[in-house]
A and B are shown apart, each in its own frame.
Chain A
């Protein structure tokens, strides 16, 4: 899932402080799961902003609405009525959601309330950790199911480097060395031979380097 964190309250307040009426728009899918932009967090942010407005003697109305997913037109359209009522929408969706809302309502101001972090798993309740950088060319078959692009701080294809100490990455004792993990896993699987050769440089054209990506499935497109 996509994960992210809410922006500091002060930053959001700064964006909206001159507006009379604001909509906080939540997204009840990925960012709800990581407690950043679901209906509950929308309620908390809206209340906090109302209190700040009151304390600063600002005449300001904050309304709330949360839709199932802000990255689908059908759900985005549910926001229409409220978007038309306000000066500004603060979207608590990921960057895709914010842009979808902006695209759908070209005359409305859409501000982001979140910093989108990436693609993560829930390691345990309250802990989300990145597992995929969406490079567009998956090599997990060669690395024991552990992604060095994401989890090695240097994104090395032929690790580990000299900064691997007691299984940890030199950037922090809390970060495991991805290549240590890969080695341990392949050892258990009896596939250490996968590490024998040198991996050639990766083709990054499938990644962001090749420009914005798009997947088109002609068979699924509507016939129009």
Chain B
């Protein structure tokens, strides 16, 4: 940036999938205005189409939807759908972006997404969201949970019959809507555009598009989904029957000449789909045809084993070359080679093609508009040490646009990309954000309840089934109801005005809205209360749509009765609700980072660039960690040079306090206000910090397997790396080098299940190629179980095959055996999996690709910080999918190998992500805590410690009186402690027993109990 004073405090995020959403939320939460640009009619992206997510089987929509809602309601996120980027001018800190806003033909402000219009639209077209497996209308909602929840008209298909305009009671249809061109000024741009998927039609031999029962994995994802075309029932598209035999074909459009890279997620999503298929249809046979099983991330291997052992999913190592259809049964014939080498033909009822990721012409057009380079695969060009930066300064990226990746890595990069933008725009932080001000709150304690009830028609959504007039008459006579009325749409802007007026006029002190779900709408109404001077907790919602008119559409009379019950219950509870108040706390703007390797250094530098203070604690006497032991990269860059520059910058930063030979001794406090003791040398120092980042790294396993440590000819990959850098002659003169993959403390008697260390295949291939470079005559043999060169690392696997590196696959049952011959040669015997024959090698050097273990002392730190560990001993994040760098205790983050083994570009992304996440806290003017939190009634407390054990956030503690107390700043209001307390000494505010019981009694009173 030439002139930092002119930096614009706004960021444009292009792409409204999970990456764009996360980046937008992080930026908006840390003082930047965000323009979120989405080309489709709604945000949500690919994740919105998924049924469940691996390896936890969480429902994708359930975990995504709250983020969608948060994004759409955020004061500082301007969501623009149906928008395309046409041009970007200017420079970092000061860009002008030209956008095309395509017409929706439906007024976003007026449409409530009630869906009345599409019931009456006569035009049916294939539904893109369900990939043609069902139909939609010409006016439609992209998907049921779409955000913005507004319809749109597909003008190409529309017959202009205006049936929708007649039916729309909100008057939202605007057939004269026009395309507009908009110019927006932003300081930085983040590209979160994702990828397209491979077009399976191009593989004619597989019959997709011709054979009805050959479908893509994304279609199967929609089939599995309860909101999908078959409402969650697995059926064959040809005849609607349940399939008995299902085949999954891997690497469709990946790892071939067309797309010579691995799409990284297909092995796992196919495994997930097979597990889900078995859950739906336990009798079905599910078989996955694959080359290598690429289960290379946290928890993936155990998921893979679960698929085989618990669900009986079969994995066959064969790339299927063609599918034939039986024209009468529409079954599909697959000819394949079994693991024993036998050729077999088998009929399947349904075949799922695991299609890979790729970019499209649209990506190229966008790249041109943005002036950024794409790489040889058509993905975004990045550099090894700067994985989140495009070729154009000030334009960052995140997610699969850089390289295919799964959801957690995408979310990680999104927070990392946000951190890069924050660094660039540090001077412009908080210059463009708006803050909402509210009138002073009325004190209503001690007043008799004066309740207002607003009953929603939701167009015809509710009123079409439920007799809202009858409900209104019933409600008017309930005790405490001062005002009641029905509204066409309670959620519309006009209605908010009316609700506010009524609160004023009738001096209401409690409000009930009977409409749809509190999940999406409660915050809106709470806001309205707040604007009217009422505490937002004096509010209750009755869901008479989802739980009423929708599920009882065929029994209108009972639905009406149920609506009365639901509202009567809400009125009973709202009477007993109390106002709750948050507390504002100050905070320290420093971060404590534990670990001075690549992860810790990167996070420290990003935070210091953003103007925050950092205490960087390293237990060794020098910085650098494992990066000191890496001397080359795949692309031929120098890690040493990079590390030196990084350390120089960190050392020079006035905001970073380096603490070498230091250890964390003690930590206390909570988000924004931690106090820790660090022992530096012999001295103990007390520091205050707002957040803590764990960047403690990992270490190479150095057990005594295969004579490691006993015979000097046996090395680990890190040893080899060092020899290659310092004494290449030694390797040059070797005749044979053998590498063994997957060496680690995994034998059953040690009761440690196998986990993939993720980096070893890539590192082995990097070092093998380096050996071939030094002397092509050296025979290099890699003994492996699966080669897991995911993403663009596949290129180097291909290269190594071309260079004559020999790959021998062994099985778990028959591990390679090492002996020493009479003439003192190392001798390796291994049974080749496909040949079923033993091979013998006498290598000059045996190189072991050993597992990556968590850093020593991780367990000790875990107990000091009260953070959980995985079975393998790595730190466990709050949520493996959507909170990949957060701990569940707020203000604690993790990155690098402390999380799981990873390559250094991944560590850089993750470290930046922690800086981005930390900034959402450190940049706050003050922290708001409290509200719906648990509270202890001390007289009943027996100090039994149950709450301390039950709380996932470490909020309860035993106070000086020896009784349990809840740290308000840590409490997330989950209620676990209140439910568990055997003395009933804990209550969750807003959900007190009496408040819930009143509701139940109101329900049961009509039965006379």
A interface residues, Cβ below 8 angstroms from B: 28-29, 32-33, 35, 38-41, 43, 66, 68, 122, 125
Q: Which residues in A have their C-beta under 8 angstroms from that of B984?
A: 38-40, 43, 66
- Kindly state the separation between the CA atoms of A107 and B855 in the bound complex, as whole angstroms: 67
B positions within 8 Å CB-CB of A: 939-940, 942, 944-946, 949-950, 981-985
B43 to chain A, nearest CB (A): 41
Residues of B within 8 A of A38 (CB): 942, 982-984
Residues of B within 8 A of A32 (CB): 942, 944, 982-983
User: How far does the alpha carbon of A28 sit from the alpha carbon of B940 in the complex, in Å?
Assistant: 7
Within the complex, the shortest CB–CB distance from B946 to chain A, in Å, comes to 7
Task: Tell me if B946 and A39 are in contact (CB < 8 A).
Answer: no
Give the contacting residue for A33; candidates B939, B940, B950, B982; CB below 8 A: B982
Tell me the minimal C-beta distance from B401 to chain A in angstroms.
45
**Nearest 3 Cβ contacts at the A-B interface:** A33-B944, A38-B982, A39-B984
Q: How far is the CA of A171 from the CA of B609 in the complex (A)?
A: 66
Cβ–Cβ contact B983 & A39, under 8 A: yes
Tell me if B946 and A125 are in contact (CB < 8 A): yes
Q: Is the CB of A33 within 8 A of B942?
A: yes
Complex-state Cα separation, A87 to B940, whole angstroms: 27
Q: Considering the chains assembled together, what is the distance between the CA atoms of A125 and B948 in angstroms? A: 10
| Total of A-B residue pairs, C-beta within 8 Å | 36
Given contacts A28-B942, A32-B942, A32-B944, are A39 and B949 in contact (CB under 8 A)?
A: no
Residues of B within 8 A of A28 (CB): 940, 942, 983, 985
Contacts of B946 in A (CB 8 A): 33, 125
A33 to B982, CA, bound (A): 7
Determine the distance from Cα of A39 to Cα of B940 in the docked complex, in whole angstroms.
9
A33 / chain B contacts, CB cutoff of 8 Å? 942, 944, 946, 982
| Interface contact A40-B949, CB-CB below 8 Å | no
Of A29, A41, A43, which one neighbours B942 at CB under 8 angstroms?
A29
Other 20 A-B pairs with CB < 8 A, given A33-B944, A40-B984, A122-B945: A28-B983, A29-B942, A32-B942, A32-B982, A33-B942, A33-B946, A38-B982, A38-B983, A38-B984, A39-B982, A39-B984, A39-B985, A40-B981, A40-B983, A41-B982, A66-B983, A66-B984, A68-B939, A125-B946, A125-B950
Q: Which residue of A lies closest to B948 (CB)?
A: A125
Instruction: Compute how far the CA of A43 lies from the CA of B979 in the bound complex, rounded to whole angstroms.
Output: 13
Chain B contacts for A122, CB-based, 8 A: 945
19 pairs, CB–CB < 8 Å, chain A vs chain B: A28-B940, A28-B942, A28-B985, A29-B942, A32-B942, A32-B982, A32-B983, A33-B942, A33-B982, A38-B942, A38-B982, A38-B984, A39-B940, A40-B981, A40-B982, A66-B983, A66-B984, A125-B949, A125-B950
Nearest residue, chain A, Cβ from B979: A40
Chain B residues whose CB sits within 8 angstroms of the CB of A68 once the complex forms: 939
Q: Nearest-CB distance from A81 to chain B (Å)?
A: 18
C-alpha gap A43/B984 in the complex (Å): 10
Contact B949 A35 (CB under 8 A): no
Chain A residues with CB under 8 Å of B985's CB are 28, 39
A158 to chain B, nearest CB (A): 34
Docked pose: A209 CA to B717 CA in angstroms: 70
CB distance from B447 to the nearest CB of A (A): 31
Q: A54's closest neighbor in chain B, by CB? A: B1009
A221 to B950 CA separation, bound complex (whole angstroms)? 41
Kindly list chain B residues whose C-beta atoms are within 8 Å of the C-beta of A29.
942
Residues of A within 8 A of B983 (CB): 28, 32, 38-40, 66
B contact residues around A41 at 8 Å (CB): 982
Nearest-neighbour CB distance to chain B for A54, whole angstroms, equals: 8
Query: Nearest A residue to B982 by beta-carbon distance?
Result: A38
Name the distance in Å between B866's Cβ and chain A's nearest Cβ.
15
Quick one: which of B944, B981, B982 has the most chain A CB within 10 A? B982
Which residues on the B side are within 8 Å of A43 (C-beta)? 984
Q: How far is the CB of B649 from chain A (nearest CB, A)?
A: 47
Q: Name the residue on B nearest A29 (C-beta).
A: B942
Q: Which residues of B are found within 8 Å of A66, using beta-carbon distances?
A: 983-984
Considering the chains assembled together, what is the distance between the CA atoms of A12 and B664 in angstroms?
Answer: 54
In the complex, A125→B981 CA distance in Å?
Answer: 12
CB proximity of B138 to chain A, nearest CB, Å? 55
Q: How far is the CA of A125 from the CA of B945 in the complex (A)?
A: 9
A41 to B982 CA separation, bound complex (whole angstroms): 7
Distance in Å from the Cβ of A17 to the closest Cβ of chain B? 21
Residue numbers in B under 8 Å from A125 (CB-CB): 946, 949-950
